[in-house]
């Protein structure tokens, strides 16, 4: 099955002029099992139609809301696939810059599909970005501080936030006050809900990913070798999930 995403270019002129052409260029060249597959892009002013895979399970946030959190067994598979997709993006010299639960779709078998490359850009290894972009709750501290940043390391920070949200059903930092959120991030303090039963290996991995100093943050290869992901072979799931989906309003974070 396919889905058709229709973009009205008149609604957001800044996005249409700056981001959309770059997004179309990138998504046309990306080919990976854990990145949304785009079959065709049809441009007929004022609309752009993107024909892509249909993801029947919605996004990862929907699953978290439905279940209140994701158990660690499922979380390991989702996170392993996410990291594999990020590894591929790095090999293609592409940074996403908006990794978050809402931009991680799930197909009928609950395979991860990264989507929404509106903030993505090509970035050579070692090059720095300066553009302030992304979703506030997932932003790395160096972006909040308006410092030139390594997009691959800031993407890893965002992935760490995704992991925390998956297995706790909550955000690690309150983004209502950005200054207080930044202070917590720089203190390298990560607090878990008192009732949450999280393995020490998962906590260690999250702690090492959410390091406020970018060059001390875990790399993709180090995450794959972590104790929490030990023994988790990367593969694509092929058994459709048959449980009935509940309303998005259930168990909202």
Domain regions of the chain by residue span: 2-53, 58-225
98: annotated active-site residue: yes
pLDDT in tens, 142-191: 999 999 999 999 999 999 999 999 999 999 998 899 999 999 999 999 99
Look at residue 248 in the predicted model and tell me its pLDDT: 40
- What gap in Å lies between CA 166 and CA 72, rounded to an integer? 9
Q: pLDDT class for 241, splitting at 50, 70, 90?
A: confident
User: Given this chain, do its domains 2-53 and 58-225 carry the same CATH topology?
Assistant: no
Residue 97 clears pLDDT 60, i.e. is over it: yes
Only one residue has tokens 């592409």, namely: 94
Residue 74 clears pLDDT 80, i.e. is over it: yes
Picking from 197, 193, 220, the residue whose alpha carbon sits closest to that of residue 86 is 220
Question: With pLDDT > 70 as the criterion, what percentage of the chain qualifies?
Answer: 96
Look at residue 253 in the predicted model and tell me its pLDDT: 46
pLDDT in tens, 122-139: 999 999 999 999 999 999
58-225 CATH fold:
Transferase(Phosphotransferase); domain 1 (1.10.510)
Options 53, 74, 98, 250, the catalytic residue: 98
Residue 249 clears pLDDT 80, i.e. is over it: no
User: DSSP secondary-structure letter at 37?
Assistant: -
52 Cβ partners below 8 Å, 6+ apart?
A: 2, 3, 4, 5, 36, 37, 38, 39, 115
Look at residue 243 in the predicted model and tell me its pLDDT: 67
The CATH-assigned architecture of domain 2-53 is 2-Layer Sandwich (3.30)
Mean pLDDT for 69-97 is 98
pLDDT in tens, 205-240: 999 999 999 999 999 999 999 999 999 999 999 999
Residue 250 clears pLDDT 90, i.e. is over it: no
pTM score, two decimals? 0.93
Cα 59 to the chain's mean position, in Å?
A: 10
């Amino acid at each position: 099955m396919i889905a058709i995403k229709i973009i009205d270019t008149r609604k957001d002129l800044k996005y249409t002029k700056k981001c959309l052409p770059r997004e179309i260029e990138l998504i046309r060249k990306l080919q990976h099992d854990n990145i949304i597959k785009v079959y065709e892009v049809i441009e007929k002013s004022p609309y752009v139609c993107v024909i892509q895979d249909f993801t029947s399970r919605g996004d990862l946030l929907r699953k978290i809301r439905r279940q209140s959190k994701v158990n660690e067994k499922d979380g390991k598979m989702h996170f392993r696939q996410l990291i594999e997709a990020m590894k591929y993006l790095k090999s293609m010299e592409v940074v996403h810059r908006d990794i978050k639960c809402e931009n991680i779709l799930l197909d009928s078998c609950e395979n991860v599909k990264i989507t929404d490359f509106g903030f993505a850009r090509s970035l050579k290894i070692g090059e720095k970005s300066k553009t302030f972009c992304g979703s506030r709750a997932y932003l790395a501290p160096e972006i909040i501080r308006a410092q030139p940043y390594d997009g691959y390391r800031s993407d890893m920070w965002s992935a760490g936030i995704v992991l925390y949200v998956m297995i706790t059903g909550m955000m690690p930092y309150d983004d209502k006050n950005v200054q207080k959120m930044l202070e917590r991030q720089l203190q390298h303090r990560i607090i878990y809900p008192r009732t949450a039963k999280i393995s020490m290996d998962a906590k260690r991995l999250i702690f090492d990913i959410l390091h406020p100093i970018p060059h001390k943050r875990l790399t993709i290869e180090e995450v794959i070798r972590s104790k929490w992901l030990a023994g988790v072979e990367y593969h694509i799931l092929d058994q459709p999930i048959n449980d009935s989906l509940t309303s998005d309003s259930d168990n909202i974070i």
